[in-house]
Amino acid sequence: MNSNKLTNKCAIITGGGSGIGQAISNQFALEGAHVNILDINPENAISTAEKIITQGGQANAFQCDISDHDNVKEIVAKIQAENERIDILVNNAGIAHIGNVENTTPDDMDRIYNVNVKGVYNCLNTVTPIMVKQGEGAIVNLASVASKLGISERFAYSMSKGAVYTMTLSVAKDYIDKNIRCNCVCPGRVHTPFVDQYLEKHYPDNRDEMFEKLSEWQPIGRMGKPEEIAKLVTFLASDDASFITGSAYDIDGGTTLLR
């Protein structure tokens, strides 16, 4: 069931064609939003949008490389022209990397920075002026437990998610008098196709054992579900959260507090 929290809201969701982003796109559509899915993979974006439309929702799909500032500006301009306003921005797109400071190469750092940090900047830099002009807006960034905790073998990834967390605080502070709210969510490990692909590639002979080990890393004893993250993001993007800005919400099965 849905409560129409986002009726007639124009939303941009980066990485909205798969995993957590897809769940956010679906939930936003259920809540009445006009969903604009930006994804590097056009097939994922189109498939997700088509499914939303067949279920009675509103969605558009755009191939977009968020690390390319000009590409972001081009797509956002199209969305603004079509909808006249942009009410919600969800910076979800991101990539992962495993490694410590010694075995993380300069190329690794650049790759992670360009998507996870500069990509978020590109979207914030492009959409925030639109929200200022229209007099309101809500931004939700996907950070991570790695924004707050020291996690083994996540040097570059933690760097990037720490940046997402602090960019959230900065935007919330700078635009609080412009009626623009900016918050972030900090998920723990979430069961997405990425996890399944990772296990299949690296642990084909003991996949189930490793899945259980990854699940038990969260004190609650399981991974999160994309739909659980999506519902929190929906709340933060909605008017129900109108008194919330500059906050980082842990959604990690007790990892931050109990490990």
- Taking only the tens place, the pLDDT of each residue in 36-67 is 999 999 999 999 999 999 999 999 999 999 99
pLDDT of residue 1: 53
Q: How many residues would you count in the chain?
A: 259
Average predicted confidence (pLDDT) for the chain: 96
Tell me the one-letter amino acid at 162. Answer: G
Q: What is the mean pLDDT of residues 78-97?
A: 97
Type of residue found at 200: E
Exposed / middle / buried, residue 171 (Cβ in 10 Å: 0-12, 13-18, 19+): buried
**pTM of the predicted model as reported, rounded to 2 decimal places:** 0.96
Which backbone phi and psi does 251 adopt, to 5 degrees?
-140, 80
Which residue type is seen at 4? N
- Cβ proximity of 177 and 135 under 8 Å: no
pLDDT above 60: residue 161: yes
Give the pLDDT confidence score for residue 202 in this predicted structure.
Answer: 85
203 catalytic, yes or no? no
Q: Which helix (H) or strand (E) holds 110?
A: helix 106-112
SS3 210: helix
Query: Rounded to whole angstroms, how far apart are CA atoms 3 and 17?
Result: 23
**The two three-digit tokens of residue 229, written as one number:** 């993250």
Nearest to 42 by CA among 20, 18, 24: 18
> Residue 24's pLDDT band (boundaries 50, 70, 90)?
very high
pLDDT > 70: percent of the chain:
99
Give the per-residue pLDDT at 259: 72
Q: Which two tokens stand for residue 249?
A: 């919400």
Integer CA distances (angstroms), 38 to 123, 152, 253, in order: 11, 31, 29
Which one from 113, 157, 165, 203 is the annotated catalytic residue?
Answer: 157
Question: Cα-flanking dihedrals φ and ψ of residue 98, to 5°?
Answer: -115, 130
Tell me what pLDDT residue 2 has: 66
Q: Which two tokens stand for residue 83?
A: 């909808």
